[in-house]
Amino acid sequence: MDDEQLRLNNQVCFPIYSVSRLLTKAYKPYLDDMGITYPQYLVLMVLWENDGQTVNQISEKLLLNTNTVSPLLKRMEKANILERNRSSTDERIVIVNLTEKGWELKKKALVIPEKLLDILLARNVQLSEVLDLKDMLNEWIQILSDDNLNKSNTK
């Protein structure tokens, strides 16, 4: 068996993992200023795009289990960023809505994508490269999501 395939620098996943961690770290000062974490920022982006979603819808969009999202939402509710209410038609369904504070955070967040993009562009990364990478990663997410769904359906 060839152990070259187990070398860290031969892995596709490690650079993706590292970039993800470093990007999250780059977000931190902006999110600290807003009083939120990166996962909370992701929830906010989902709700800013379409408020009044269910916990399941948020979980699906973020590719997270509901048992990961629910405690996150609970902390955000305690911080008065959002509110969770049971559906009047089905009490098993929890609908999440932003509060005024949640909407106010959007104003602070508007500068974040541009500031992070500026970090890359200042180092001669081309905008087209960033967009191509984003498209490619979205394609990989779809492929891997489909593969994981297929594997869970065959069990």
What pLDDT, in 10s, does the model give residues 3-47? 888 899 899 999 999 999 999 999 999 999 999 999 999 999 999
For 147, residues 6+ apart whose C-beta sits below 8 A from its C-beta are none
- What is the DSSP secondary-structure string of 86-132? E-SS-TT-EEEEE-HHHHHHHHHHTTHHHHHHHHHHTTT--HHHHHH
pLDDT of residue 2: 78
Q: Is the pLDDT of residue 153 over 80?
A: no
pLDDT of residue 147: 73
The residues spanned by each domain of the chain are: 3-124
What pLDDT, in 10s, does the model give residues 45-91? 999 999 999 999 999 999 999 999 999 999 999 999 999 999 999 99
Instruction: For residue 154, name the pLDDT band (cuts at 50, 70, 90).
Output: low
Cβ neighbour number for residue 47 with a 10 Å cutoff: 22
Instruction: For residue 155, name the pLDDT band (cuts at 50, 70, 90).
Output: low
- Amino acid, single-letter form, for residue 91: E
CATH architecture, range 3-124: Orthogonal Bundle (1.10)
3-state secondary structure of 54: strand
CB 145, CB 63: distance < 8 Å: yes
